Amino acid sequence: MACRQYFVLVVQIIPGDDRRSTESICWAGEERLFSAGLNGEIIEYDLEKLCVKYSLDAYGGPIWGIVPNPSGTQLAVCCDDGSVKLFSITPENIVFEKSLDRQKDRILCLAWHPSRPQIVTGSVNAIRAFNVSSGHLFQTLKMDRPLISGKKRDCIVWSVAVLSCGEIVSTDSTGKLRFWELERGTLIRSFNVTNSDALCLAVSKEEDSLVVGTAEGTILQFQHLDVQAGKETKEWFRTRPFRYHTHDVKSVAHSSTALISGGFDGQIICRPLMEKMETKTYEAVLRKIMFPHRHLVSCAQASRLLLFQFPKHLELWRLGQTNESGVDGDVLNVSQDPELLLKLKSKGSECIRCSTISRCGSWVSYTTSSRLFLYRLHYENQNISISRVPKMPPLQTAALQLLFSWDAKQLYVGSQGGLVYVLELSDGACQHSYTLEPPSASPHSVHLLTASSDGSLLAAAFVDSHIDIYNVKTQKYVCSVPQYSSPPTAMSICPSTENLVIAHADQQILEFNIAEKQYTHWSRKVLQHGLHRDWLERDTPITGITFNPSKPEHILMHDNYMFCVLDKSLPLPNDKTSLTNQRSLKSLSEKMRRSCAHAFKITREYKPLLFMDLLDDGELVMVERPLVDILSQLPPPIKLKKFGT
């Protein structure tokens, strides 16, 4: 996650599994991703297939931490049985090398020395240092046990780090940040950072700054600064407190320009360091990631059905209805309540990767890391029945994206290497028809799929910003969109013009004429004029695009915090004009309203907004997920006494 970029985007997701419990993850070697957890296994992931490449039992019970050595040639894991095990990283997998001296207590964290063959571990009431070459323990640091209600309580070391100068940094359950001298085993300095647990820490590459996460949701930065101007003596000072989380901060990272934290509240926070920024522009904006940058809801527009995706099941709902009519701003009474029609549980222990429903509501499909499932829905009066298609055609690569054609006669399956499998659907059966392949071999997986309403065109987008367009009827490649510098986050083909509208992660909106194989005149005008500054500085990407058939010049878009109607017939606003001016326009006369109107009509009434689409009867459906509902399902945070309470 690089904060010098103008966007932060979730590009890929590896589904979870009930058999796995991830406690620690790390990068090693040449962009290889490893994890370890309480099931006692080390896992390496296939970043193309987005699944487990292989797993290896460490034979030490639950694993609490996994860390690579500075050169990326070895992995060290700390286990519940008190052992530290070393694994060599080979081109294909990892190989067990040896175990360090086993201890009595479980080991909860560990860190490598930046330049020496040494490993430091943290456990209950102790920090220990090992020589990697010999495998022997050579230093033990005893922790002070706090006295609570007349009894000594254990001091749990939650995180450790080793500096190049030989100092050990630790955080623990007493809320302290401590600095130790490794060779002598003495405490150098200590900071009381919180009244609760200090759970995690991270040190910058230059070792002039570190960040600590606490159970109170607070993040504290410490910097190594000159004690006095003109002198070389430096000390560690607490410089900044940040509070962006409501619950425990479980993980922190320190890049060259930002502090990144992940909390028990499900948020990822990217906090830029202003002194590290070359210019105080949009790159210095705080960013929060609370929701996935992809749809977990799909819509059967013709049948007024919504399919909701959860990790282990799908829910099919029929939308409510009203018999009333009103004017703008009215809230109408519901004559028929929304109805849960079906709850479909996933088979096996794997979580659901993606899902979709056909426009007519007759087909539902979902995929896990290893299998593709397809179901046929039958409606009789008020009853619904479901039957699974038993024999799915074998696919050479994993299914990553799913999309039904508009007539529900085909299922498009996006996969790795840019492949799109076209499956023909019939009553209760499915067979592989053909495969659409990119014109040149692609190492990237299909990220987005969209199809035209007449069933002739299909566009496939990749995370490297490349977009290929195919003619499904002739089974041939048509063209590629000129590659843009930012990856696409949403795209859709307009039913009336068959132009492809693309939203990118840097908030740019482009329109591509497929027939002429070039950007449209309106798109060129957007690139020349530039979009409004407030639009470009939004934090969340566009995740949904659709069109109003009765008004082809309208593009309907949404992100997590905004719904927008972009009217291509109106002029683009400049930076001096208010971007959200709909309320102010209502107070003006009709003549003044027309003169002040611009292309963007924005509302932030619905948020967080997870989904938006236009039904066949002209109704607009939106799905919002209030944060209050999410936070109410979490354990209560630590109560903080505030002034006057």
Q: What is the pLDDT of residues 381-393, one digit of tens each?
A: 778 899 999 889 9
Q: Mean per-residue pLDDT for 211-231? A: 88
CA 94 to chain centre: 27
Give the domain extent around 457.
297-624
Query: What are the backbone angles phi and psi of residue 582, rounded to the nearest 5°?
Result: -65, -40
Please compute the mean of the pLDDT values over residues 84-95 and round it to a whole number: 94
Mean pLDDT of 286-306: 86
Cβ-contact 562, 535 below 8 angstroms: no
Q: Are residues 353 and 418 in the same domain?
A: yes
Output the average pLDDT for the chain. Answer: 89
Q: How confident is the model at residue 7 (pLDDT cuts 50, 70, 90)?
A: low
Closest to 395 (Cα-Cα) out of 49, 54, 53: 49
Q: How far apart are the first and last CA of the chain?
A: 40
Instruction: Tell whether the model's pLDDT for residue 24 goes beyond 80.
Output: yes
**CA dihedral sign of residues 591, 592, 593, 599:** positive
Residues 286, 304 share a domain: no
**500 lies in the same domain as 411:** yes
State residue 139's pLDDT score. 94
Same domain for 261 and 316, yes or no, is no
Structure tokens at 473: 């009827």
Asked whether residue 133 is assigned to any structural domain, the reply reads no
**pLDDT class for 643, splitting at 50, 70, 90?**
low
Check whether residue 239 and residue 373 sit in a common domain. no
- pLDDT for 620: 92
Residues for the chain: how many in total? 645
Q: How many CA atoms lie within 13 A of 23 on its CB side?
A: 23
Mean pLDDT of 130-154: 89
**What value does the mean pLDDT take over residues 355-371?**
94
pLDDT category, 1, cuts 50, 70, 90? Answer: very low
Query: Mean pLDDT over residues 535-556, rounded?
Result: 91
pTM: 0.88
Of 229, 262, 291, which residue is a domain's last?
A: 291
CB 614 within 8 A of CB 546: yes
State the average pLDDT over residues 155-170.
Answer: 95
Same domain assignment for residues 603 and 619: yes
Q: How many helices (H) and strands (E) does the chain have?
A: 5, 52
pLDDT tens-digit map of 579-632: 876 666 666 666 666 767 888 999 888 878 999 999 998 899 999 988 778 778
pLDDT tens readout for residues 415-456: 988 899 999 998 878 999 999 999 887 778 899 999 999 999
268 vs 274: CA distance, rounded Å: 19
Q: Assign 275 a pLDDT band (cuts: 50, 70, 90).
A: low
Residues 311 and 415 in one domain: yes
Task: State whether 400 and 447 are in the same domain.
Answer: yes
**Domain closes at, from 223, 258, 291:** 291
DSSP character for 276? G
Q: How many structural domains comprise the chain?
A: 2
Residue 285: per-residue pLDDT: 56
Boundary-marking domain end, from 229, 264, 291: 291
Which CATH number belongs to the domain containing residue 473 in this structure?
2.130.10.10
The whole-number pLDDT of residue 446 equals 92
- Are 393 and 284 part of one and the same domain? no
Mean pLDDT, rounded, for 174-202:
93
Distance between alpha carbon 261 and the CA centroid of its chain, in Å?
Answer: 13
